[in-house]
Structure 1
Amino acid sequence: MRLHVKVQGQGFPILCLHGHPGSAQSMTVFTDHLSRRYCTLAPDLRGYGQSRAHEAFAMTDHLNDLTQLLDEEGIAECLVLGWSLGGILAMELALRQPERVKGLILVATAARPWGNHPPISWQDNLYTGVASILNRVQPGQNWVIETFGKRSLYRHLIQQHTPAAYQRLASDALPAYLQTSPHAHRALNQALQQRYNRLDAIAQLPTPSLMLWGECDRHITPESSRETAQHFQNCQSHEYTNVAHLFPWEIPDRVLGDIDHWLGQTFA
C-alpha cells in the first residue's frame, strides 16, 4: 500500500510513526522541531488519516508498508521515532532491518505493553464527547477544560490540563480519531489478544535507543516502559512526573530538549 506521508526539512532522515488512533498530523509536535536539522517523514499508517484501508489487514502489513516507503524514498539508513503503537512498529522495523535503523526514539511504548486503565462508564463517554465537541469549537478554553475536560477520559490521557494540550487535542487528536478506520481498530485488537512480547528479541538489538514515558500513563504503564528500557543493550531513558500517555503535548519543550540532547550526544 502506498502511504500518505508528510516530508519536512533536509538532512539525515527520521521516520516518525504515530500511535492509535493517530496520523501524521499527530506527530507535528516532533516533526516541526526536528525538521529544522533533519529530514522528517511522517506517514499516515495504513487505515489511518489519508492512508485509506478498504479491506482487513494485520499489524505486520504496517511493516511492509514502511519498508516500501523507505525504498521508494531511497532511504538506506534512518532513525525511527515512534509514539505508542508507533514505538512498537519502530522496534519491529529495527528487528527486521537492523542495518537500516541506526537509532530509536521510543515514546510512551513498550516491548511487552500492558495498561491499567479503569473501566469506562457511560458518564465518561458523555463527558468526553461534550468536551471534544466544545474544545473543537473553542480550543483550549478554561471553562471547557474545568467543566468537561477534567471529567472526561482526557483525565487518563493527560495530567496537566493546559490550554496548549487541549489545542492539540482539538487540532490533532479528534481528527485522527475520526479518520481511524474500523480495519485499524480490528487489527490492533487482534494483536493485543496475542499478548505481544518482544523483550527477548530487543535484548539482542544493539541499536542506540532513547525511551521516554510518563509516570501517570495508564494506557502503557511506566512499569512496562521501564522493563523495556532495561532489556535494551544501549538505552537512555527519562521518566517524566505528573504526565500521562500524551505527555509530548503536555511538556513539549522538555521532551524535545531531551531528544535534542540524546541526538547530539549519540550521533555527533
Structure 2
Amino acid sequence: MPHFKSRDITLFYEDVGEGTPLLLLHGLTSNHAMFYREMDFFKKKYRVLALDSRGHGRSDKPESYTLDDHIKDAVALINHLELETLYVLGVSMGSYIAQGVAIALPDRVKKLVLVATKPSGEQSSMAELFDRHEDAFRGLSLVGKLDKSSEFMFYNQEKVDEWLRKTAEKSDGLTGREQVAASAALKDFDFRSELGKIRAETLVISGTHDGLNPPDKGRETALHIPDATYMEFKRSGHAPNVEQDRLFLGITDNFLD
C-alpha cells in the first residue's frame, strides 16, 4: 500500500488507473474509501489518486492540525509523485483543501471540481449547523446531534445510508478525540480574497437540500473563481456524488473530458 512522508507525518493514498492524474480529496471524518464508486468509474480513463488526509483513514493521526496542514500535505503528494499537471476533485472538507491546492499551484491544477463547498468558515460546517438550528439540537448529546444532523444534510437518506455502510466496510472510523481534532482543523479559514488566483477550469456543484453547506455557499465560491461554472442538483443534499450518483458521474466525466 502506498505511503509517503509529509514533513513529520506519514500519509496513505490509493493509486489506480492510468492517464491524466485525478486527485480525490474526501470529506470530514471520512477517508479515501468514500470514493469507491468514483475510483472504479474514473480509473478507466485517469490515474486516480485518493488521499487519506492527516487525522483520517490509514494516515497518521496527530493530536492537532490545521486546514493549512491538509493543503500542504496534498501539495506534498503532488510533488512526491512529480505530477506536472493534474485534475483535482474535492467533496466538502476535501473541497476546501482543493481550493487551497489550486491557489498554491495555479499552473499545475488544470481542472477543479468542488462539491458541497464553501469559500470560508469561522468554525466547522457541523458546528455552524448546530448553531443555525439551535432549538432542534438543544439537550442532545454529541452522538444525538450527529444522528439528528442527517435530517438537515441529505435529501436521499436511503442512498446515503448505503454509501456510509459500504465506506465503513472498507475502512475504520475515528475515535471521539480524533473527530474533535478533525473538526477543529476547519476553523477560521477564508479563501475569498485568493480564489481569483485560480486558473483551473472549475465546476462547483451544490445540492439544493444541503443544510450543512447550503447552495448559496457554493454560488459564492463560484463567483470568486474566474469563469467557474455552478450547478445545483435538485434532488441532493450534502452528498450530490451519492444522492444523484449517475448524474454526478456523467456531468463530472463530461467536464473532465
The size of the alignment, in residue pairs, is 239
Contact 1:9 1:40 in 2 (8 A): yes
Question: Measured at CA, do residues 126 and 185 of structure 1 come closer, stay the same or move farther in structure 2, by a change above 3 Å?
Answer: closer
Question: Measured at CA, do residues 84 and 236 of structure 1 come closer, stay the same or move farther in structure 2, by a change above 3 Å?
Answer: same
Gaps of 5+ in 2: 1-8
User: C-alpha distance in 2, partners of 1:2/1:251?
Assistant: 34
Q: Which residue of 1 aligns with 2:16?
A: 8
Match status 1:242 vs 2:257: no
1:155 maps to a residue whose letter is E
Gaps of 5+ in 1: 130-151
Contact 2:23 2:89 in 1 (8 A): yes
User: C-alpha distance in 2, partners of 1:34/1:93?
Assistant: 21
Q: Which residue of 1 aligns with 2:27?
A: 19
The CA RMSD measured in Å over matched residues stands at 2.5
Contact 2:110 2:199 in 1 (8 A): no
SS in structure 2 at match of 1:212: strand
Q: CA deviation at 1:123?
A: 8.4
1:210 maps to a residue whose letter is L
Question: Measured at CA, do residues 50 and 246 of structure 1 come closer, stay the same or move farther in structure 2, by a change above 3 Å?
Answer: same
Q: Which residue of 1 aligns with 2:199?
A: 206
Larger Rg: 1
Q: What are the residue-to-residue correspondences of 1:5-154 with 2, within 5 Å? A: 5-113=13-121, 116=129, 117-119=132-134, 120-121=137-138, 122=140, 125-126=143-144, 152-154=148-150
Contact 1:16 1:41 in 2 (8 A): yes
Q: CA deviation at 1:155?
A: 2.1
User: C-alpha distance in 1, partners of 2:150/2:163?
Assistant: 12
Q: Which residue of 1 aligns with 2:162?
A: 167
User: C-alpha distance in 2, partners of 1:258/1:75?
Assistant: 25
Q: Which residue of 1 aligns with 2:217?
A: 224
User: C-alpha distance in 1, partners of 2:226/2:60?
Assistant: 37
Runs of 4+ displaced beyond 6 Å = 174-177
Give me the TM-score of the superposition, normalised by structure 1.
Answer: 0.80
User: C-alpha distance in 2, partners of 1:112/1:261?
Assistant: 28
Q: Percent identity at matched positions?
A: 24
Q: Which residue of 1 aligns with 2:5?
A: none
SS in structure 1 at match of 2:216: helix
1:118 maps to a residue whose letter is H
Contact 2:65 2:185 in 1 (8 A): no
SS in structure 1 at match of 2:114: strand
User: C-alpha distance in 2, partners of 1:232/1:158?
Assistant: 26
Question: Measured at CA, do residues 124 and 185 of structure 1 come closer, stay the same or move farther in structure 2, by a change above 3 Å?
Answer: closer
User: C-alpha distance in 2, partners of 1:167/1:185?
Assistant: 25
Q: CA deviation at 1:153?
A: 3.2
Q: Which residue of 2 aligns with 1:145?
A: none
Contact 1:215 1:241 in 2 (8 A): yes
Q: CA deviation at 1:180?
A: 6.0
User: C-alpha distance in 2, partners of 1:128/1:92?
Assistant: 27
User: C-alpha distance in 2, partners of 1:20/1:87?
Assistant: 10
User: C-alpha distance in 2, partners of 1:24/1:178?
Assistant: 12
Structure (1 or 2) with the greater strand fraction: 2
Q: Which residue of 2 aligns with 1:252?
A: 245
